[in-house]
Amino acid sequence: MDDAKRSKEAGVLLKHSSDNKLNSVADGLKTTLGPNTWPIVRDYVDEIITVSEEDILKATKLIWERLKVCIEPSAGVGVAVALGQEFQSKYRLEDGIRKIGIILCGGNVDILTIAKLMEDGGL
DSSP 8-state class, residue 29: G
Confidence tier at 98 by pLDDT (50, 70, 90): confident
Q: Quick one: average pLDDT of 40-65? A: 95
Report pLDDT for 96.
85
For 79-98, give the DSSP string. Answer: HHHHHSHHHHHHS-GGGT--
Q: Is the pLDDT of residue 7 over 90?
A: yes
Query: What are the domain boundaries of the chain?
Result: 3-44, 53-120
What average pLDDT is seen over the chain?
90
Q: Which residues contact 83 (CB under 8 A, 6 or more apart)?
A: 55, 59, 62
Summarised one tens digit per residue, pLDDT across range 20-45 is: 677 888 888 888 899 999 999 999 99
